[in-house]
Structure 1
């Protein structure tokens, strides 16, 4: 089935009343959560995983897809009105978006972010439908060394390019690999890292791990390091105009360029959404006729990065659905959602469960349309969510985390494990270790171990078999190029952010005689 045929088939499945209901529910929940700083789509899906065990897999996955896109939309509201990015991909948006809001143009900034997200998400979803079958045709010809090479790419790009320090990212990934080793060795039957605990023989439940690191770790960090009990909110100016004709003229090209940057860097992968947003911002600054406005409220500085961020989100679903390889924390959580229903994303899934996969992809188009209708007229309603006091908000998150974890297996041991792993998540945040590499390492580690052992068994233990095919050589050379290019882009983007921050006037200077 070709991409267009599959997408049309998926649309026929996604427009059923039940599918539309779950898509609407997911987009609403995703937007609500996306508006709140520090609570992204990965945490939301992780919290809801235990509550969806009774649902059909199609309904649950469609809802999670809506949450994924909805959180991306909602994150722009936080960046623009609070200058507090909830997601790493919204860091650049906060620079010019918040400046526009302070100049009374917050409505225009939110509008260009929402419309740009819609344009990028729609184009990227269509590209996802076109590319997924093509990649599946390649994937069925790959062997164990090829799959292991792809997983090495996922490990190193995510750990080296996510966060401020590559070393901390690698340490985080190694912690995840250690967590993935807990339990019984599938080949020898030996116990590994169980320390005499019978409850650990089946390994650490990935749902417990994800909820602990994202939810409990975040709650502990906020409780320990944020003094204010409310978000410092910058409200929209009453009567503020939306986008003018000039705003449209300055935004549509950045939307398209951001889509062209974000989608392929999500497919490769390139280590998260920060890099495509940095590249988009740098490109728009170079091409704009209004260079002097960048850092002071340039609408291109919001339109391009937001489009790149949402296109990148759709791009990460290509390796997840076609190869079964997650390249972001949220994609890793969605992989767990598949696995809880006994489904393993990859080449065989598109053949055996084509209706589910195409229905999921088509639901992204519907979610995108619903999100545009929700975000533009209801921005004021989403902003009200930010007025909830932090103690109430995070107490609710903690309650959901504890109840959801207990509901997974009905085990108090899981609750104790949740608190222990949550304390580790707090320490990681406290000392600047990124969470995403640990999640991906824990989920993808056992799969990589299977492919590594299979490749070495077939080759009689010859390590050179790991680089014996043209595909593996191309993959490792591409990995080297991505790592080098990512560091260069990150350094350049950091310098631009420092220059922009240094250019902002210090309010203390104005008060000095």
Structure 2
């Protein structure tokens, strides 16, 4: 009964005219940036963070959430029509989706992707609602030692699921943690690593770092390496899949939803990993594995369901524990902090309308995406013809204005420029920037809980291994680190993330 009442509160909150409007704006923006390859949900949300400062907390978070799962839909459109995934989680969809489009079944492929995504989104939203309160209750029992160990698990998992070299991912986490130390010591009040610039006494501006590392760096990379896009300009028709196709997608959609719902919770790249895992499973269980790579329906339905389910369930650790599961969730943490909300288990008790409003908006947003996306495919196709050299200068100007508007601090613009160049350099060195952002967000929280736990234990470090939950979490972190360094696992990671190279 409590679940019903909570969901009713959520739908009342998300169903207000204002929140419906921002949900619509979010899913449309998400689809748009998912359609335009090279921008991505992370960069877009980073760019829009300054705007959220002027909005109500519920409205801003509903809009940002809509951008995230809307991008999963939009990414499939470019994957199918031009063989270029707008989102990395849609890379697998391109394998068979584009082949279906070349055979004149682009409409059916797009409809299958939309159906699978909507079903997966509905199921995973329901799972978020079911598990949110129990996990929040458990989290309320956590002390400083448990939170420290939990964040260690999160950072280690982000290393394990990062693209490319494990050593480079570890270095990115360390760099993020160091950047998080800039500012004023939380206990002594002494300035640290501020270079004598008093504007950095409160630490580096999260928005400036995020916009630089993800937004500006991505723009520079895409301007340097624009790829030729063969857009299928022919009219997309036959949006209703055949009965045979509908029968064929039932099992892949169910399996993809299950895989994505579980893997989406993992810190790092759960939605990306889920789409690859789903494709592998479908190919192994298929009676005709030779069809994969040549337009297999299951090769579209399974991964699309998995990545959308993963996108939704990644909200579980954010809403219940205040721990981001991926860079987008880290940006959501930043948005909450901008609004004066302390992420964590207390949000459900202190601000139930916000907590349940976000959950309810996920289902509403998924419904909007199904209703709006298919009729607007012609528009998305035309947008693909916009030259990058016209699009990106406008985005860079918008980023700079937005970042400056948060604090009216010119040093934030210097930070954007610096981290934009740093992010570009990291991309050239094949270093994944996602662990850096997670380290930057979790660093201050990690330090605070570490020092608090040591103060409570009177300087005894054994408190982290004598408390059962803390010891269990640290054990998981050690096991994950050992496993990812095993030669067979390292080889498998390279195969999974080969498209990012």
Q: Distance in 2 between matches of 1:430 and 1:143?
A: 41
User: How far has the Cα of 1:476 moved from its partner?
Assistant: 3.4
User: How far has the Cα of 1:273 moved from its partner?
Assistant: 2.0
Q: Distance in 1 between matches of 2:244 and 2:211?
A: 45
The SS at the match of 2:245 is helix
Q: Counterpart in 1 of 2:313? A: 315
Matches within 5 A, 1:422-437: 422-437=420-435
Q: Counterpart in 2 of 1:506? A: none
Matches within 5 A, 1:361-380: 361-380=359-378
Q: Does 1:276 align with 2:274?
A: yes
Q: Does 1:48 align with 2:51?
A: no
Worse-matched range after superposition: 191-200 or 480-489: 480-489
Per-residue Cα deviation, 1:302-360 (whole angstroms, up to 9, x for no partner): 11111111111111111101100001000000111111110012111110100111111
TM-score of the pair, normalised by structure 2: 0.94
Q: Counterpart in 2 of 1:394? A: 392
Matches within 5 A, 1:18-167: 18-167=18-167
Q: Counterpart in 1 of 2:468? A: 470
Q: Distance in 2 between matches of 1:335 and 1:211?
A: 15
Q: Distance in 1 between matches of 2:490 and 2:361?
A: 34
Q: Counterpart in 1 of 2:380? A: 382
Residues 479 and 350 of structure 1, relative CA distance in 2, 3 Å threshold: same
Q: Counterpart in 1 of 2:253? A: 255
Q: Distance in 2 between matches of 1:495 and 1:420?
A: 33
Residues 107, 236 of structure 2: 8 Å contact kept: no
Per-residue Cα deviation, 1:359-415 (whole angstroms, up to 9, x for no partner): 111111100100010122222211211111111111111111111111111122211
Residues 34, 40 of structure 2: 8 Å contact kept: yes
Number of residue pairs aligned between Structure 1 and Structure 2: 497
Worse-matched range after superposition: 66-75 or 464-473: 464-473
Worse-matched range after superposition: 78-87 or 171-180: 78-87
Residues 267, 324 of structure 2: 8 Å contact kept: no
TM-score of the pair, normalised by structure 1: 0.92
- For structure 1, the residue ranges without an aligned partner over 5 or more in a row are 501-513
Residues 147 and 6 of structure 1, relative CA distance in 2, 3 Å threshold: same
Residues 155, 267 of structure 2: 8 Å contact kept: no
Q: Distance in 2 between matches of 1:453 and 1:44?
A: 35
Worse-matched range after superposition: 33-42 or 310-319: 33-42
- For structure 2, the residue ranges without an aligned partner over 5 or more in a row are none
Worse-matched range after superposition: 179-188 or 489-498: 489-498
User: How far has the Cα of 1:91 moved from its partner?
Assistant: 2.0
Q: Distance in 2 between matches of 1:214 and 1:86?
A: 15
Per-residue Cα deviation, 1:210-233 (whole angstroms, up to 9, x for no partner): 11111111111122233x5x6432
Q: Distance in 2 between matches of 1:497 and 1:150?
A: 26
User: How far has the Cα of 1:111 moved from its partner?
Assistant: 1.3
Q: Counterpart in 2 of 1:329? A: 327
User: How far has the Cα of 1:140 moved from its partner?
Assistant: 0.8
Q: Distance in 2 between matches of 1:3 and 1:89?
A: 31
Residues 38, 222 of structure 2: 8 Å contact kept: no
Q: Distance in 2 between matches of 1:231 and 1:179?
A: 38
Q: Distance in 1 between matches of 2:477 and 2:96?
A: 32
Per-residue Cα deviation, 1:405-441 (whole angstroms, up to 9, x for no partner): 1111112221112111100011111111111111111
User: How far has the Cα of 1:235 moved from its partner?
Assistant: 3.4
Q: Distance in 2 between matches of 1:12 and 1:485?
A: 45
Residues 290, 298 of structure 1: 8 Å contact kept: no
Q: Counterpart in 2 of 1:413? A: 411
User: How far has the Cα of 1:494 moved from its partner?
Assistant: 5.3
Residues 270 and 51 of structure 1, relative CA distance in 2, 3 Å threshold: closer
Residues 278, 489 of structure 1: 8 Å contact kept: no
Residues 49, 335 of structure 2: 8 Å contact kept: yes
Residues 301 and 477 of structure 1, relative CA distance in 2, 3 Å threshold: farther
Q: Distance in 2 between matches of 1:340 and 1:495?
A: 39
Residues 51 and 376 of structure 1, relative CA distance in 2, 3 Å threshold: same
Residues 381 and 392 of structure 1, relative CA distance in 2, 3 Å threshold: same
Worse-matched range after superposition: 460-469 or 338-347: 460-469
Q: Distance in 2 between matches of 1:252 and 1:482?
A: 34
User: How far has the Cα of 1:238 moved from its partner?
Assistant: 4.9
Q: Distance in 2 between matches of 1:285 and 1:246?
A: 18
